[in-house]
Structures are given as C-alpha cells and as structure tokens.
Amino acid sequence: MNEKITYNWRYISIAVVFTLFGLAIIAQMARIQLTVNSSELPVPVLLGQWEKAASRRGLILDRNGHVLAGNQTVYAVDVNFEDFNQPGEIEEVKMLADLAIEAFDIKNQYLLEFLQQEPRPLERNLTVENFATQADLLHFLDLLERYYAGLPLEEKTEESEESEGTAPLSIEESIELIDCDHLVRVSCSPHLIRSYPEGRMASNIIGFVMRDSNEGQLGIEEKFDSTLFGNDRTWWAFWDPHKADLAPDPDHGANIVLTIDSVLQADVETILDESIKKTGALAGTVIVMDPRNGEILAMASSPRADINRYWDEEYFEIINNLENVFNYAIKSYEPGSVVKVLTMAAALDAGVVEPDTEFIDEGQIEIGGVTIKNWNEKAWGPQDMTSCLQNSLNVCLAWVATQLESESFYNYFQDFGFGQMTGIELAGEAPGLVKSYRSPDYTRSELGTNAFGQGIEITPIQMVKAVSAIANGGEMVAPRIIHSVVDDGYRYTPPKTVVGHPVSAETAETLTEMLRQSLKNESSLALVPGYSLAGKTGTAEIYIPSLGYKSSATNTSFVGWGPTDDPQFIVYVWISKPSASIWGSEIAAPVFRKVVEKLVIHQGIPPDAVRIALQE
C-alpha cells in the first residue's frame, strides 16, 4: 500500500515539473512577442492591440509623368526634459535644449521662450520639431554624439545647408529611416508631408496642403482632397504570428495626372513673369488650350507662391491678398474688346450682318439714353464688319448688338457659357456676371456696352471655352485640366465633353477668316511669321467707384488661335493694370506671339507651307 502511494507521488511530481516547464516556455514566447513595457499594453494584453496602416497622399503629375506634388518623409522629434537634481544632469537638459534650437532652427516664439527659460524645461517628452528633415535630424544626432563623447561641437557647414532639400518621394520610392531607439532622451517618429519639387511652378493650379490639418487648400489639392487623401486602416492585431497576413494594406490616395505639360508650363510662366516685370503690371494669366478636346496645356498665373513654404510672409500675402485671388485664370473681370469676337459671331450666325455689311462710323451712337464713343473718341467713316473688328470700334459693335436686339444677344451669350462656371477642376472658380435683360434694373444702354465687353464680368477660362466654338467649327468643348485618375492600378480618363454648338460651322469659319485678315492688315504684334493666326485684342478701362471709367488703369487682353485652317491651340492672355501702356495691342499681343513661338516648337507644329506640303 505504501509502495503504491510512493509511485503516485513520483508521477505527480514529474507532471508538475513538466507543467511548470511548459508554462515557462509559454511565458518566454509571450515575452519575446510582447517586447513593449507592460504598462503600455492594451487590455486584454493576451488578445492583441489596435494597429494603424497609414495611407499616403496621392501624387499629382503632369501629362508626361513628371511629379508636381509628392510626399516627403519628415520626423517628429521628442526630447525628454525630465527634472533632475544633480548639477550634471541639469546641465545636460540645458544642452539638449540648446542643441535642439540650433539643429532645427526653431523660430516659433512660444517654443523658443519655453526652451530658453530658466530653469530649463522640466516636462517629459516635449516635441521640439514636428517636421524635421533627414538632414536636420542627422545633424541633431551628430551634435548629441559629439556632446556625449566630449568632443567639440562643430558648426553646420554651408555645404550641408545647401544639401538639405524637400525632395519628393513617390509611392514607389523608399528611404532608409533614421532610428533613434538607441538614445535615452530623444525619440523620433517618421511621417509623410506634402512636397512640391517645382516650388512656384504651377502652384496656382496645384494649391497646397496644410501641414497641421493635412487638408488641401485651393487648386487641385482642395478640389480633389478626398480623392488624393486616401484612407488609413485600423484593425485589431492578434498576438498570433500566424495571423500577420490578415493585416490590411492602407488605402493610399489616388494619383492625379494633369493635362498640362510642365516644360511648356515653365516656358509660359517665364514669358508671363518677364512681361509683368517689364510693363509694371499688377498681375496676369496665360491659358493654352487644345480646342479639339478641351485639354489645358498650360495655365500660368502671376504672382505665384512657393507652396513648400506657404506660411512665409512673402507667400502668405500672395495667397491671402485683398482680392482673394490665387489663380487669375478663374477670376472674373471686365474683359473689354475681346468680347467683340463673340458679339460678331452672334450677329453673323443670326444673319443680321455679313462680313461686307457697310457701316458709317460717326464716332458715337446713342443707345438707351447713353452715348457710346470709340476708344479714341473719333469717327472712322465707312467700314465693313472686318474693319470694325480690325479697328476695334465700340460704336460699330454696339450698333451690331442693336441689330440682334436684347433677347437674341443675351441668348447667344448664355449659349457661349457666360455667367456660368465652366466646371474646370479647380477650387475657387468664379461664375462671372452677365445681367439678364429681364432683370428689373436692366437698361437698354447695357446692350451697347456689353457688346464690347464693358459692364459684364467673365473669367479667362470662360472666354477660352467660348472661343473654342469659333476655333473648333462651331463645337464648344468643356475645358479640363485632369487628364486621368489612377487608383489601385486602374486608370480613369474623362472623355472629351462637347457642351454646345452656339454657332454654326459656317459662322465659325467666316469669323476666323475675318479675324485672320484683320490681324494681317493691322500688322499686329501678335503675328508669328509662317503661321496663319486669328485673334483679337482687348483693352478695358477698370471701373473705380469715385472716378467711373475715366482712370488710366486698364485690363489688357488678347485671344487668338491657329493655324486657322486647322486650329490646334487657343491662347488667352490677360495682363492687369500695366503701367508701361494701357493698350492690349502693345501689352498682351506680344505675349501671345512669344507663347505661340514656344508652343509651335514644343508641339511640333510646322509652318503652314511645310504642313500643307506634308499633307499633300
């Protein structure tokens, strides 16, 4: 009996030993997997914890795949300024603060005062920099190593400063992240911010992303914020290595490909900037569009901002100006005589005039009790409709509008899209303003003044859209700046959108020929040798409440297209408030010529004689 009890005790002892050994193995496995402080573990600890897969903001590229908006890895840097009583430790805290100020060039007044206070900061894990570049962080870590090694602290060299940049990272690119885990008092966590490798170029189109809120502002960034942003994914991660493949991939933002060509965009911006500087103008814009499909090839606007540093005082003033204008291509203004193109188109299409219709210009005409005069306040005598356009006669075009009468005139303007947004894929587009002839405060005199672009407001992009009907055989296309959207391996390309046929193909051809002749006859500064072009200047006095339309400030414009037998481009120029001259023929027309000279080379459009010979 006693022998049986002895054997049972031995079996139980062996079972207990193996059980304890097994529990020890399990405990060790758990310890290896849970390599974090137990105070930081979620509850219940054995089940797992919440994990987050961060998404990247989608890229913005030009039509050739050149990155205009990417992502850059930066670091949030925390320093442990814990309170110590020993003199050496207090000195260490002081040195950490000084090194952070130097390495990150801290200018935030609140943080600067906090770090420089006596005694030094006593808070734990204070964020000293949220957007440290790799170069700045490496410099900070180098200073720390020198300090702890007792070596002299070297000043940052000019070469290292110049090497710093904001090089963008695409989704496909990766970098070797900096690890601060070996440091006791410093921690650094990487995250992505928006980066614009071209700085100011196309900034008025792109917009920017706020660093603190990560929200898109203005341009493409605002209009397509939700498309570009993507979605972070959060899931419950089990402490089971076999379930690691259950973690979802982040839903990265879609990439957006623009219709613009960055090389042409840069050339057009240079031409615009040089013109504004030379003429002493306030601002301006140039739009280049393909009338066959509505694709915007370039959209330059000035002034522009370096959107990598939108918060700098210089750029902040450009973005938040008094007129609340970031992109002048979508801002409304009184355009002046460029509108005569559409007034004449309406009259020709309605059949109330022909190109050879005669008009005796007496220098003034009274409509609705208001006397309208020509730009030089002189009479021009016998004219036909082509010479009325060539000489830009207000009196003649006001008379043409009376032949249409109000209902027909404004119906045509509505068909051309005036007073309506074009739908261009940019935040902040203005609708413009054309008063209805049925409005209680409408007067008949407005029929005369609206005919030559006074008393109405349009945007340059509206004018480009309207003129596409003339350049494109009567077919008006919607302007677009989005070439395609690429998401998760799929590409969506919006189709060409025809938005109306405000005039017939015959009218479009007739008017194009009239404007070709008028440019040639006046030896316009817009002409490009070897190319047949059609176009019209515009000079609009700017209304000032205390002075009316008698100030010297003007908006100068030019709209043109070509080659006239096969239009492949429309170029619209608007230069606001030039001081060198008030005339569109002297300010805007030369800009048109310079843009076309670059455009035909870039697009490979040969001179007319060569092109026709090749076709034959």
pLDDT of residue 163 exceeding 70: no
Give residue-wise pLDDT tens across range 44-86: 444 555 444 456 899 999 999 999 999 988 999 988 876 555 5
pLDDT for the residue numbered 38: 44
Residues 242 and 302 in one domain: no
pLDDT for the residue numbered 157: 45
In the structure, what pLDDT confidence band is assigned to residue 41 with cuts at 50, 70 and 90?
very low
Alpha-carbon gap, residue 544 to 575, rounded angstroms: 18
Q: Hey, which bits of 183-339 come out as E strands? A: 186-195, 208-209, 216-217, 233-238, 255-258, 283-289, 296-302
pLDDT for the residue numbered 146: 84
Could you tell me which residue, 534 or 135, shows the higher pLDDT?
Answer: 534
Alpha-carbon gap, residue 288 to 299, rounded angstroms: 6
Mean pLDDT of 202-228: 92
Residues 218 and 317 in one domain: no
Residue at a domain's end among 34, 51, 68: 51
Nearest Cα to Cα of residue 57 among 262, 258, 211: 211
Residues 499 and 595 in one domain: yes
Residues 18 and 113 in one domain: no
pLDDT of residue 578 exceeding 60: yes
Domain CATH number, residue 271:
3.40.710.10
In the structure, what pLDDT confidence band is assigned to residue 161 with cuts at 50, 70 and 90?
very low
Residues 180 and 233 in one domain: yes
pLDDT of residue 311 exceeding 70: yes
pLDDT of residue 173 exceeding 60: no
Residues 59 and 199 in one domain: yes
pLDDT of residue 516 exceeding 90: yes
pLDDT for the residue numbered 171: 42
pLDDT of residue 162 exceeding 50: no
The answer to whether residues 516 and 532 touch, using CB atoms and an 8 Å cutoff, is: yes
pLDDT for the residue numbered 118: 72
Amino acid at site 151: L
Q: Which residues pair with 76 in a beta bridge?
A: 189
Amino acid at site 309: R
Residues 424 and 370 in one domain: yes
Chain centroid offset of residue 588 CA = 24
In percent, the amount of the chain with pLDDT more than 90 equals 57
Looking only at the bridges linking them, the beta strands covering 364-367 and 370-373 are antiparallel
In the structure, what pLDDT confidence band is assigned to residue 119 with cuts at 50, 70 and 90?
low
Helix axes 134-149, 87-104, angle to 10 degrees: 150
In percent, the amount of the chain with pLDDT more than 70 equals 83
Mean pLDDT of 475-499: 94
In the structure, what pLDDT confidence band is assigned to residue 42 with cuts at 50, 70 and 90?
very low
pLDDT of residue 411 exceeding 70: yes
Contacts of residue 84, Cβ cutoff 8 Å, sequence gap at least 6: 90, 92, 93
Query: Picking from 23-32, 64-73, 128-137, 280-289, which range would have the lowest pLDDT averaged per residue?
Result: 23-32
Domain count of the fold of the chain: 3
Q: Residue 391 burial by CB count (10 A; 0-12/13-18/19+): exposed, middle or buried?
A: middle
Amino acid at site 394: N
Q: What is the dihedral of CA 362, 363, 367, 370, to 10 degrees?
A: -140
Residues 13 and 64 in one domain: no
pLDDT for the residue numbered 248: 52
Query: Picking from 7-11, 23-27, 471-475, which range would have the lowest pLDDT averaged per residue?
Result: 7-11
Instruction: Map residue 484 onto helix, strand or coil.
Output: strand
pLDDT for the residue numbered 107: 81
pLDDT for the residue numbered 192: 87
Residue at a domain's end among 206, 233, 258: 258
> Which residue has 């005589």 as its token pair?
337
DSSP 476: E
Query: CA distances (Å), 392 to each of 209, 388, 453, 466, 580, in order?
Result: 45, 6, 12, 19, 21
pLDDT for the residue numbered 361: 94
Give residue-wise pLDDT tens across range 336-364: 999 999 999 999 999 999 999 999 999 99
Query: Picking from 155-164, 212-221, 469-478, which range would have the lowest pLDDT averaged per residue?
Result: 155-164
Residues 468 and 367 in one domain: yes
The answer to whether residues 544 and 551 touch, using CB atoms and an 8 Å cutoff, is: yes
In the structure, what pLDDT confidence band is assigned to residue 553 with cuts at 50, 70 and 90?
confident
Alpha-carbon gap, residue 359 to 278, rounded angstroms: 39
Alpha-carbon gap, residue 99 to 108, rounded angstroms: 15
Alpha-carbon gap, residue 45 to 431, rounded angstroms: 58
The answer to whether residues 390 and 522 touch, using CB atoms and an 8 Å cutoff, is: yes
Helix axes 584-602, 262-279, angle to 10 degrees: 160
Structure tokens at 156: 């940052």
In the structure, what pLDDT confidence band is assigned to residue 19 with cuts at 50, 70 and 90?
confident
Residues 277 and 240 in one domain: no
Residue at a domain's end among 223, 258, 293: 258
Query: Picking from 91-100, 114-123, 433-442, 501-510, which range would have the lowest pLDDT averaged per residue?
Result: 114-123
Give residue-wise pLDDT tens across range 325-340: 889 999 999 999 999 9
Mean pLDDT of 375-393: 95
Residues 273 and 252 in one domain: no
pTM above 0.75, yes or no: yes
- 3-state helix/strand/coil string of 520-573: HHCCCCCCCCCCCCEEEEEEEECCECCCECCCCCEEEEEEEEECCCCCCEEEEE
Domain CATH number, residue 73:
3.90.1310.10
Contacts of residue 492, Cβ cutoff 8 Å, sequence gap at least 6: 484, 485, 486
pLDDT of residue 250 exceeding 70: no
Q: Phi and psi dihedrals of 297, rounded to 5?
A: -90, -30
pLDDT for the residue numbered 126: 81
Q: What is the dihedral of CA 505, 508, 510, 514, to 10 degrees?
A: -170
pLDDT of residue 485 exceeding 70: yes
Query: CA distances (Å), 478 to each of 337, 425, 599, in order?
Result: 23, 11, 21
In the structure, what pLDDT confidence band is assigned to residue 235 with cuts at 50, 70 and 90?
very low
Range of the domain at 605: 262-615
Helix axes 460-471, 505-521, angle to 10 degrees: 110
Contacts of residue 271, Cβ cutoff 8 Å, sequence gap at least 6: 286, 300, 591, 594, 595, 598
Could you tell me which residue, 511 or 73, shows the higher pLDDT?
Answer: 511
Mean pLDDT of 457-486: 97
Residues 532 and 611 in one domain: yes
Chain centroid offset of residue 148 CA = 47
What mean pLDDT value characterizes the chain? Answer: 85
Could you tell me which residue, 567 or 123, shows the higher pLDDT?
Answer: 567
